[in-house]
């Protein structure tokens, strides 16, 4: 017969009491003069039984409370890993701030050196506005390259055609995977200078790892015929990816892994959104938007802890893309089936999107001395300019045109306009064949192949056909006199981050010409990839 611990104690005590009573009777007959002594012992034993019974009841209540608490924890954990409902699958911001965080994973089993220092998992946050609840988080790790940095070109390409709405629904995390404080701060300052609006709005964050995060790489085992330096490079890369993914995980609904030497296809954000929404099942683990390495791999945020932990289990053994494939094999492949069956099963977890949305453009690898000319064949030919039907005009410029990239072709939508570095006083002029009522304008500089060739510190000016009742606070000024040029043009706008766009008030009347006036010298070439002048109907 089995007894619970508390119940067994009570039963044994009661048996002891019965035994004591039987003996008590015998003793009464033999030793009548000791009745009072044994009666006192019996009463004392009875009192102890009552105490034991009450203690057993109290511990039973405590055990029930603990079990209820465990059930509550299990239910909460199940809710964090259960399948999305139909509502969850929709592309919308979710509050995931309470999801798993870095310290809750078993990182210390795989990285025991982290126990040596308290803040070994605390990221150095260079700047952030604390944005969370977005649909898409983009992770971009970057390191110091000896030859050339591609980071600014990558960021330019990602932001190039994003709408204001898309910028409000995403977060770009630049992970500077270096412990040199001066280098990290230099990258941050460059980003702040190039993208002040994106930084201020909270769209971009810059973080770096604490020095204690990295283990001693001197004793790494060489495998697969790779040199010690290459093994160290790929091992550190695995750690960098994992740190970035775990930091980004609670900030959005989806996480996409990018690199610092890529360009993006126009409309990539909307394409990612459409593909994610169209998935009828929640069984997928990866949506692939590039066939190269670890570029353009999209994960559900709720799956990121599992994926990152798998990487950390084997971070010293294989490159990241190999580990990702092994994870798929572990989840769905049957060792008793052939390779074709395994491949079909993995295709249910890894869904490939074509054409690719990201192209690798870096030539000099982050591994010292390595030249990498990898190209995604599914990316296709990139659109370098946008054409529009503009009103008849004579176009002139003081800029020195590069090869066949003339202003005339750009205005007609045949090609982009490309010129050597501007200086103060240079201009681009569109003189209309007759006065026109202009509704608005758009001038976009740079393109995905040359995102850095932007027009900066340049004003948009119009020449009015007649004097007009100029609106107060035009361009945000109390009076319009400061917006008048010496030759009679009116300043109506400025290039911001390579783009000038605006509406022209009807009160200005008809317009004879639009001029782009360059106010300062530029270190880069000027490339106009889009010219759009809208006539008021």
Exposed/middle/buried for 350, CB within 10 Å: 0-12, 13-18, 19+?
middle
3-class secondary structure for 332-377?
A: HCCCCCCHHHHHHHHHHHEEECCCCCEEECCCECCCCCCECCCCCC
Q: What are 95-99's contacts with CB under 8 Å, separation 24+? A: 95/132, 95/133, 96/132, 96/133, 96/249, 96/250, 96/251, 96/252, 96/253, 96/301, 96/302, 97/132, 97/133, 97/250, 97/251, 98/250, 99/249, 99/250, 99/301, 99/302, 99/305
pLDDT in tens, 198-225: 999 999 999 999 988 998 888 888 888 8
pLDDT at 354: 87
Instruction: Please report, rounded to a whole number, the percentage of residues in the chain having pLDDT higher than 90.
Output: 47
Cα radius of gyration rounded to whole Å, the chain: 35
Which tokens in the block code for residue 282?
């929640």
Nearest to 304 by CA among 99, 128, 140, 112: 99
pTM flag (> 0.75): no
Alpha-carbon span 62 to 514, nearest angstrom: 81
Q: Are strands 252-257 and 134-142 parallel, antiparallel or unpaired?
A: parallel
**What are the structural domains, with CATH classification, of the chain?**
109-360 (3.90.550.10), 393-535 (2.60.120.260)
Alpha-carbon span 125 to 140, nearest angstrom: 15
Nearest to 419 by CA among 453, 449, 394, 395: 453
CB 258 within 8 A of CB 295: yes
Encode burial over 209-240: b for 16+ CB neighbours within 10 A, e otherwise: bbebbbbeeeebeeeeeeeeebbbbbbbbbbb
> What is the chain's pLDDT, residue by residue, as a tens digit (537 residues)?
444 455 555 555 555 555 555 555 555 555 555 556 656 666 666 666 666 666 666 666 665 565 555 555 545 544 544 444 434 434 543 333 333 344 445 777 788 888 887 777 888 899 999 999 999 999 999 998 876 778 988 898 898 778 889 999 999 999 999 999 999 999 999 999 888 889 999 999 999 999 889 988 888 888 888 888 889 989 999 999 999 999 999 999 999 999 998 888 888 999 999 999 889 888 899 999 998 888 999 999 999 999 999 999 998 889 999 999 999 999 999 998 999 999 999 988 999 998 889 988 866 555 655 556 666 676 766 778 888 999 999 999 999 999 999 999 999 999 999 999 999 999 999 999 999 999 999 999 988 778 778 899 999 999 999 876 665 545 554 444 568 898 999 999 999 878 899 999 999 999 999 999 999 999 889 999 999 999 988
pLDDT at 376: 61
């Amino acid at each position: 017969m089995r007894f619970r611990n508390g119940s067994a104690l009570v039963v044994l005590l009661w048996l002891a009491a019965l035994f004591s009573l039987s003996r008590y009777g015998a003793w009464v007959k033999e030793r009548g003069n000791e009745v009072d002594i044994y009666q006192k012992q019996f009463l004392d034993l009875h009192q102890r039984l009552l105490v034991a019974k009450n203690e057993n009841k109290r511990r039973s209540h405590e055990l029930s409370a603990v079990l209820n608490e465990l059930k509550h924890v299990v239910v909460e954990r199940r809710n964090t890993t259960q399948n999305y409902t139909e509502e969850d699958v929709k592309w919308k911001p979710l509050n995931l701030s309470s999801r798993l965080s870095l310290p809750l994973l078993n990182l210390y089993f795989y990285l025991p050196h982290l126990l040596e220092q308290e803040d070994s998992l605390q990221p150095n946050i260079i700047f952030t506005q604390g944005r969370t609840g977005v649909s898409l988080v983009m992770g971009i790790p970057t390191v110091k390259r000896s030859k050339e940095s591609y980071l600014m070109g990558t960021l330019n390409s990602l932001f190039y055609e994003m709408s204001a709405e898309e910028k409000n629904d995403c977060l770009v995390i630049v992970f500077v995977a270096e412990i040199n404080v001066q280098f990290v701060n230099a990258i941050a300052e460059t980003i702040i200078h190039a993208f002040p609006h994106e930084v201020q709005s909270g769209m971009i964050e810059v973080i770096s790892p604490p020095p204690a995060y990295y283990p001693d790489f001197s004793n790494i085992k060489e495998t697969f015929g790779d040199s010690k330096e290459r093994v160290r490079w790929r091992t550190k890369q695995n750690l960098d990816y994992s740190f970035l993914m775990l930091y980004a995980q609670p900030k959005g609904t989806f996480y996409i892994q990018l690199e610092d030497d890529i360009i993006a296809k126009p409309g990539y954000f909307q394409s990612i959104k459409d593909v994610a929404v169209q998935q009828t099942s929640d069984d997928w683990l990866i949506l692939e938007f590039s066939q190269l390495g670890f570029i353009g791999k999209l994960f559900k945020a709720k799956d990121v802890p599992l994926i990152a932990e798998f990487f950390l289990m084997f971070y010293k053994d294989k490159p990241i893309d190999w580990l990702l494939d092994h994870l798929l094999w572990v989840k769905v492949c049957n060792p008793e089936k052939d390779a074709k069956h395994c491949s079909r099963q993995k295709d249910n977890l890894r869904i490939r999107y074509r054409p690719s949305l990201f192209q690798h453009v870096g030539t000099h690898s982050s591994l010292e001395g390595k030249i990498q000319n990898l190209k995604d064949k599914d990316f296709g030919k990139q659109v370098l300019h946008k054409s529009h039907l503009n009103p008849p005009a004579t176009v002139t410029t003081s800029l020195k045109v590069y090869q066949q990239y003339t202003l005339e072709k750009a205005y007609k939508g045949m090609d982009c306009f490309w010129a050597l570095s501007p200086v103060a006083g240079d201009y681009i002029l569109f003189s209309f064949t007759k006065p026109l009522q202009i509704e608005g304008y758009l001038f976009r500089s740079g393109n995905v192949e040359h995102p850095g060739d932007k027009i900066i510190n340049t004003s948009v000016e119009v020449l009015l056909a007649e004097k007009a009742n100029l609106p107060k606070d035009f361009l945000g000024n109390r009076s319009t006199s400061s917006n008048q040029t010496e030759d009679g043009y009116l300043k109506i706008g400025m290039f911001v981050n390579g783009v000038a766009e605006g509406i022209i008030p009807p009160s200005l009347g008809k317009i004879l010409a639009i001029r782009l006036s360059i106010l300062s010298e530029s270190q880069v070439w000027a490339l106009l990839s889009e010219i759009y002048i809208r006539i008021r109907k």
